Chain A
């Protein structure tokens, strides 16, 4: 009976909606509700509960939804705030027209100034920061969900400002189900805006929804809406929309927070199906790029690629999906099969834009003018507080935020020990293990009487390096088989004692990357996937040597670093730190593992550090 009433009502409303001109749609709604109101409709409690839950979920996240605007308030898209200090996600293609300074309207009706923080052009994501009207006043924000848990058939909520409809910035809410997960949508123009591993929704999204949030029914952010499939019906909702999965965005968030103009990755080898016509798909390595890490890791044409970053490969789309969620330079484990032999290896991914898409590079370098640190002419609105938070620099969306994140991280690191006074000779003593060999080790980093820095390393035999004089890559890579342990120790000492001053070639935050510390007992891990430890990275350059320093996101401790004597041609010397103990109030690692080319070179156990003052 009830059901019948509702059906009849639904039909009437439908007619009303169609009959009235669109301008009068509001009136139609009012009529509809009025018709429904008088009847004592007995609605099941669970239905009301479900409705109440839905309303509660919407209410919770509604204030954090952003209407992204040009300066002056003209709407260009949507976004969502993810931290109380006003960091918000949107689409790259939304802030493309605004440039580095934009405005952002919230449901409270207030238009805030905002600045571009970081960008992921290939993934079509940008991070912006809203400036509070009162200093330090927190913004409403939403919680990031886990998009790997999203399943086909789940309900979802999309919010944003379609057609720039809301003049007061109150978001439009649409409700629908997840049509597909792990979808692949190829790039739109010049290799950018590639949607990998994305979420397909029937939840209505339209022009203006771009950059806006997709929520699960708990009000957790599971994606950023940005694209749809269009054909004959025009560029409005066609029942098929796509959201960039939040788990992909999480991989790039550290980079974006650090102001980086991030890039996606290629493997350094082409991968394809063994045969298009085969009953089941088999993904194989087709071609390996010369000089790539993939080549150095021994990937060969014809190798079957059975898993990538812990996920099984069953189709070309799936491969593109998995590859597409990683920033360049990340190391990912992959499993290869050759002649029935299974092998797992860590491959450093290559950049996407810079290498393979060289021709478009010029265009991508805009809008950052090439002259850094000079007063720049900003678009109108220059001189505002937001403009003070913008420093252009090549390779960065906004260098200001790189310095900010870098200095924040270094301040945390400094809490574990201030080494600036320990600027004299460093000596460490203990035992080494190299394969079957064991013995005492000692290393010393000091200046000789001519004020030349040298590194002395005694393992089974004595090695010596004068890092500033010995610029030959072969000498720098000694001891042979270590990839340059002495050079690495020298840079470590420099990093701790000198900080930014020690790296004239570059000293920048490198976003976040995983590090894979091996079991200290030397045992083979069950899977490399399990070793993953997420870290914040600092990238340094001194002389021709580049290093990457990995700080655990858990406690900001330096758990490892890589030293490249010859970045284009050779693997780095990998040093892993553990067993931190205080030495004169400074935390120092007492276990140091040295790895080179997929192998352990040595394990050092430190008994004693002597750090001298100058």
Chain B
């Protein structure tokens, strides 16, 4: 309540040029919303099950349709689709993903054109290099958020607009599920409830319509266990631990600093190379090495068919015909549930308590997840997208 009051005054204070007369009918937000909406897309991809949305938001950063969005599971499909502000439905393709910046670059792919050749789209866009040059916004500054929160908009329907105030510019300490969030750099924390389903990849802008950041996901603050409303700034910078071989051929950690700008610049050219890192990022989950029975049904029970020799599952003692029933207390109704849970909640090195039914008895197995081998034998097919 008090915060709101403070914001009102603050708002009024910053709104000086516009609130002078009842000519607030010419409110700058109308135009700003309209213009910004033209520089944004609705993204539709993988998901649509188990609280994973198959929809999100993206920010256009080139006239040819390069789009900046978050590095979510949405992109795990070859059927990525975007809707432009004017209702056009176009295909898109992933160019670069960096989980530790929680950012991805996708690009619109027109039928009959190669992804790298000019496509003549001439879209309105945010100049990312310009945006990244500006100093970051201050605590107390006014911001507006545009996103496809709750998938309210389809086709030519405009994105949802919210306004708020930057409450803090600070390091993110948050988690997603039980797992620490990979991005640990600075974020804008805002007082509007911006981070809802589908809002990730939306734009946080200032009152001039300049891009400040990319709206993040639904995550909880590790300290207070409350939902966060945050955006990753265009000026974001993270330290990534790279795994390099020293002269003796041994693995060594080396810190590589990556900025959002360099990611975007390289990503747009298709030149972004993810460094070999020490930890597996969120999105893949840890590696177990269980081979399940053929997953033919939506709800195929999680029966173990085999284990990959030498894998964590083999070391833990999983056996064929074991039925995986609980993982860390979560009931596992099907192979899909198991895979999703692993993807969402685990990483390499994590120890899981798995309960399996073996014969008539329940057995508890401790499973220490490992890193994914360089080439997984059979990659999981992307879930069927529900593209509207």
Contact = CB atoms under 8 A, between A and B. Distances in A.
B19 A29 contact: no
A46 B19 contact: yes
Given A177-B29, A180-B153, A180-B160, A10 B24 contact: no
Interface in B14-67: 14-16, 19-22, 24, 27-34, 51
B160 A47 contact: no
B308 interface: no
Contacts, number: 174
A178 B34 CA distance: 13
Interface stretch (A94-102, A149-157, A513-521): A149-157
A533 B138 CA distance: 55
Interface in B149-188: 149-150, 152-163, 165, 167
Contact of A239 (B13, B90, B196): B196
Contact of B87 (A9, A182, A231, A315): A315
Nearest to A239: B193
A13 to B, nearest CB: 4
B139 A238 contact: no
Interface string A144-187: 00000001111100000000000000000001111110110000
A178 B157 CA distance: 14
Question: What class of interface size applies to chain B in its complex with A?
Answer: 35 or more
A3 B13 contact: yes
Contacts of A544: none
Given A17-B3, A281-B87, A154 B30 contact: yes
A49 B23 CA distance: 12
Interface string A40-54: 000110110111010
B341 interface: no
Given A6-B13, A280-B87, A314-B87, A179 B160 contact: yes
Given A10-B6, A229-B149, A279-B88, A51 B163 contact: no
B358 interface: no
A240 B34 CA distance: 19
A180 B5 contact: no
B13 A200 contact: no
Contacts of A318: 157
A386 B143 CA distance: 50
B3 A14 contact: yes
B33 A152 contact: yes
A153 B30 contact: yes
A152 B30 contact: yes
Contacts of A49: 19-21
B275 interface: no
Contacts of A152: 29-30, 33-34, 158, 161
A50 B10 CA distance: 13
B321 interface: no
Nearest to A276: B388
B15 A47 contact: yes
Contacts of B87: 280-281, 314-315
B1 interface: yes
Most chain A beta carbons < 10 A, residue from B32, B159, B193: B193
A593 interface: no
A240 B30 contact: no
A138 to B, nearest CB: 28
A7 B330 CA distance: 45
Given A10-B10, A153-B30, A200-B152, A50 B193 contact: no
Contacts of A51: 8, 12
Contacts of B197: 231-232
A387 interface: no
B80 to A, nearest CB: 13
B140 interface: yes
Given A46-B20, A239-B193, A16 B2 contact: yes
B284 interface: no
Interface string A282-318: 0000000000000000000000000000000011111
Given A11-B139, A47-B15, A177 B163 contact: yes
A317 B157 contact: yes
Contact of A277 (B5, B33, B89, B138): B89
Contacts of B346: none
Contact of A240 (B15, B31, B90, B149): B149
B292 to A, nearest CB: 29
B305 interface: no
A277 B386 CA distance: 12
A12 to B, nearest CB: 9
A153 B33 contact: yes
B10 A155 contact: no
A2 interface: yes
Contacts of B139: 7, 11
Contacts of A53: 22
B227 interface: yes
Contacts of A191: none
A70 interface: no
B193 to A, nearest CB: 3
Contact of B1 (A25, A176, A239): A25
Contacts of B154: 315-317
Interface string A119-131: 0000000000000
A233 interface: yes
A240 B196 contact: yes
B48 to A, nearest CB: 14
A182 B31 CA distance: 17
Given A13-B3, A43-B12, 18 more contacts: A6-B13, A7-B139, A10-B9, A29-B5, A32-B2, A46-B19, A46-B20, A49-B21, A50-B24, A151-B30, A152-B30, A154-B29, A182-B157, A183-B157, A239-B162, A239-B193, A279-B89, A279-B90
Interface of B: 1-10, 12-16, 19-22, 24, 27-34, 51, 87-90, 138-140, 149-150, 152-163, 165, 167, 192-194, 196-197, 218, 227, 387-388
20 contacts: A7-B138, A10-B140, A10-B165, A29-B1, A44-B13, A46-B19, A47-B15, A50-B20, A152-B29, A153-B27, A153-B33, A177-B161, A180-B159, A232-B197, A233-B196, A238-B196, A276-B388, A279-B90, A280-B87, A281-B87
